[in-house]
Structure 1
């Protein structure tokens, strides 16, 4: 079962009954984001298939992604042991080369699902996932652009949809939006100098627009209107950002726009992406705007302050300036 033999398949029609119920619970009760539910389900499907192999419940010649788990009954879950859970994590680390962060997410997936079986459905008597230990994760060093690189990116925009693409980059860099949040913005969400954002888990927050953001939106709106007016039957009249065909812009399209403009600016191939633009916005706000971490938490829509703390990293300029302000410096 090498990494090359495992494909990313996650068809809901293949889910066992309890996993379908877990999905409903995550969506309707917990209010989890679609991405979180999908990631957890993918991890659990992999775990179920791994167990079928370990327990000799399938033909050994069956490709991993083709192992049927839709027929799993409650006894299957009742027999899960702590050892099997650890075996799966070892497999993920050694065979799939998963990082510590990915292993931690898989542990979270197991805990959430088996807690659901134990506390909500009372299918299992003991929840062994509670005894799983999280791996140590080193402090992440996030990728971001410095101020000069961010300005160069905006100055280098070249596109037949210039005002739209410039506006997209401006909102990423000034508001720190997630990709899905940007794509979901409606015209009606903009009121004066604020945008109503629907974030993870459908949580609502309001983001204030600075002058650069307001100017970019103002420049884009006439072109947006002209595009919609040129179409005989536009399908999307509410979305702020629209495609060539008048549809709400797709996440993949935005990613391609960002990738193209990074190339234009000569900074492609450095691990930068739409999410790294969010990192850049947060870093610039903290470094140059002197924004308090609690305020930054609200701007970014983080649930926990610990998530925001990754942006309080230091760089050489901040260290150099800190040394200079030492009162003994002038003696």
Structure 2
């Protein structure tokens, strides 16, 4: 603590010692988006608790959780905020050898990601078919939805894609994907998906290497299309296709990609892991396990029959 780094600009003056802890913690985070998210969440807690870092107790964090839950926030949001606090105070505990107030605090129970709604093959085709490719907006959205549903990209990865990221490797068309944690990887583009992107790019006119592939439209100008804007467009097509399922989110398209590759496409687990760029194959295995649980379920072997059916 004697060698605490300089304060982070923008922090409120009531507790400037927060920056002494926060600065080295943020340096450990790989992506700029992660740093920004962590800064915002820790700043929210600091503003609420109104205490120097060393005086924060487990009870403070428990009360903070109760406050978040009382506001009706989603479980995933509460989980994220508490996880960030836990990481922050764990870093402080390990670096300066002080007690960790977040250690006794339980995180809310999260729903297994594998239970997220996925599209059937018929629903997936209907979802893509409601996009009108006769307009520049439709061409753009068709290419975006194809990358999400067929190539399994995340919305942030689609948003980050630049013109220079499209190239060829030994005759294969690929897109350099800028993933989570500043991890880059080459994603193979099928001919139909490349064609959809190319069809949209033709509506753009001249482009430069550093230009975003997908542009926003409307009154806000023609800058990079954000991940949030992509989510809005996908939800629009969910409604247009009449697809309304519990737990259906934009990220369900990535889950649907994995599930359909494994079940209908009969792809092997390793190839799907590479497609989704999962660091651990256990993450990919969750999709297969959830399907196997339904296919081979003991309830089908229950000898009790229901009269009248």
| Fold in common (TM above 0.5) | yes
2:186 to 194, 202, 206: 206
* Alpha-carbon shift at residue 196 of structure 1 (Å): 0.8
Stretches of structure 1 that go unaligned for 5 or more consecutive residues are 1-10, 53-71, 230-234, 325-331
TM-score normalised according to structure 2 size: 0.74
What does residue 152 of structure 1 align with? 126
**CA deviation after TM superposition for structure 1 residue 198, in Å:** 0.7
Q: Is 1:171 aligned to 2:127, yes or no?
A: no
Q: Paired residue for 2:99?
A: 126
In terms of mean alpha carbon deviation, does 254-263 or 15-24 score higher? 15-24
Q: 2:196: which partner in 1?
A: 216
Which residue, 40, 58, 66 being the options, matches 1:82? 58
CA contact (8 A) 1:236 1:247 kept: no
Q: How far, CA to CA, are the matches of 1:304 and 1:17 in structure 2?
A: 40
Assess, with a 3 A threshold, how the Cα gap between structure 1 residues 46 and 186 changes in structure 2: closer, same or farther.
Answer: closer
For 2:267 and 2:32, locate their aligned partners in 1 and report how far apart those are by CA, in whole Å.
27
- What are the residue-to-residue correspondences of 1:147-296 with 2, within 5 Å? 147-158=121-132, 160-161=135-136, 162-192=138-168, 193-225=173-205, 228=206, 238-244=211-217, 245-267=221-243, 272-296=248-272
Three-state SS of the structure 2 residue aligned to 1:196 is strand
Please name the residue that 1:107 is paired with: 82
Relative distance call for 1:317 and 1:269 in structure 2 (3 A) is closer
Shift of 1:144: 2.0
Q: Give the CA deviation at 1:136.
A: 4.0
Equivalent position of 2:42 in the other structure: 44
Q: In the alignment, which residue of structure 1 is the partner of 2:304?
A: none
TM-score between the two structures when normalised by the length of structure 1:
0.70
Deviation at 1:25, TM superposition (A): 4.1
Deviation at 1:209, TM superposition (A): 1.4
Larger deviation, residues 203-212 vs 281-290: 281-290
Structure-2 separation of matches of 1:19 and 1:285: 47
Deviation sequence 1:193-228 (CA, Å, 0-9, x none): 211111112111121112321221232232222xx5
Aligned-partner Cα distance in 2 for 1:118–1:300: 35
Q: How many Å apart are 1:255 and its aligned residue? A: 2.7
Seen in structure 2, the aligned counterparts of structure 1 residues 148 and 97 have a Cα distance that, compared at 3 Å, is same
Q: Superposition RMSD on alpha carbons, in Å?
A: 3.6
Q: CA deviation at 1:39?
A: 4.1
- Aligned partners of 1:119 and 1:312: how far apart in 2? 38
Structure 2 portions without partners, runs of 5+: 1-8, 301-309
Aligned counterpart, 1:61: none
8 Å contact from structure 1 (residues 12, 20) kept in 2: no
CA spacing shift, 1:86–1:182, aligned 2, 3 Å: same
Cα separation, 2, equivalents of 1:202 and 1:18? 29
Q: CA 1:147/1:87 → structure 2, altered by over 3 Å: closer, same or farther? A: same
For residue 29 of structure 1, what is the aligned residue in structure 2? 28
Helix, strand or coil: the match of 1:197? Answer: strand
